[in-house]
Amino acid sequence: MASFGTLFLDLDDTLYPKHAGIWDLIRRRIDAYMTVRLGLPAQEGRRLRARYYREHGTTLAGLQADFDIDPLDYLAFVHNVPVEARLRPDPRLRRMLRALKLQRIVFTNASSDHAHRVLRALGIEKDIDGIVDVVALEYRNKPQPQAYLRAMELAGESDPEACILVDDRVENLVPARSMGMKTVLVGEGDGMGHDARHLKVGRVIDLPRVLPSLFPEGDW
């Protein structure tokens, strides 16, 4: 069995359930950015957002390719959502993270400011060892292969087989799996797909069920 050293955890819709609705709020802020900052008609903005997400993995990457935008302004604008009103401390998640005997890194296409707000709202900020955000990734985002290599570099890992990636998007897991990482798909059945190459859990707190070796007996 592989000896794992780092657990990479996606942020939105992974560390908390999708029904919290935070991503829906961010999506609306992205649409607002298109109209407020770029002056695009609402329908055109929504069309571009969908295309960029499909082709680039994030709207930001598409905008950087097609428009002269300030990425930090974009990140601040779209993440200006009421995280604290939607999330509460999660004792079970905190307990699970503290039971892990490996490095815990949030690996996200969002900003570190947004990640810190989510972690604080969930009550787990002290239980995460680091955050690799899209700025630290030099604006290479999942599922671009360079993003995974950069995340490993920042985490001090040289062997993909020592890494586990937990994410709610199959598209983000595929490159990690091809590199040799262990991959876990998180979701409540909506769009999870049926790819047997990935382990699957309904919520991130179910990780001990599919990766019991990471949780010493008696700690969970």
Domain boundaries, the chain: 6-17+89-214, 22-78
Residue 100 pLDDT more than 60?
Answer: yes
Q: From the options 3.40.50.1000, 2.20.28.10, 3.60.15.10, 3.10.20.740, give the CATH code of 6-17+89-214.
A: 3.40.50.1000
The domain made up of 22-78 has a fold known as DNA polymerase; domain 1 (1.10.150)
Least confident of 107-111, 132-136, 180-184, 211-215: 211-215
Distance in angstroms (rounded) separating the CA atoms of residues 112 and 73: 13
Angle between helical axes of 170-179 and 145-155 (0-180°, round to 10):
70
- Over residues 141-171, the pLDDT tens digits come to 999 999 999 999 999 999 999 999 999 999 9
Residue 18 pLDDT more than 90?
Answer: yes
Q: What residue type is 100 in one-letter code?
A: L
Burial of 217 (C-beta count, 10 Å sphere; 0-12/13-18/19+):
exposed
pTM for the full model? 0.94
Q: Work out the pLDDT band at 197, boundaries 50, 70, 90.
A: confident
Task: Measure Cα distances from 12 to 40, 119, 174 in Å.
Answer: 27, 10, 18
Of 2, 3, 14, the C-alpha closest to 128 is 14
Q: What is the pLDDT of residue 1?
A: 46
- Over residues 36-90, the pLDDT tens digits come to 999 999 999 999 999 999 999 999 999 999 999 999 999 999 999 999 999 999 9
Residue 145 has phi, psi (to 5 degrees) of -55, -35
Residues 97-107: what's their mean pLDDT?
96
Residue 33 pLDDT more than 70?
Answer: yes
Q: What is the pLDDT of residue 196?
A: 62
Residues 111-130: what's their mean pLDDT?
98
Q: What is the pLDDT of residue 86?
A: 97
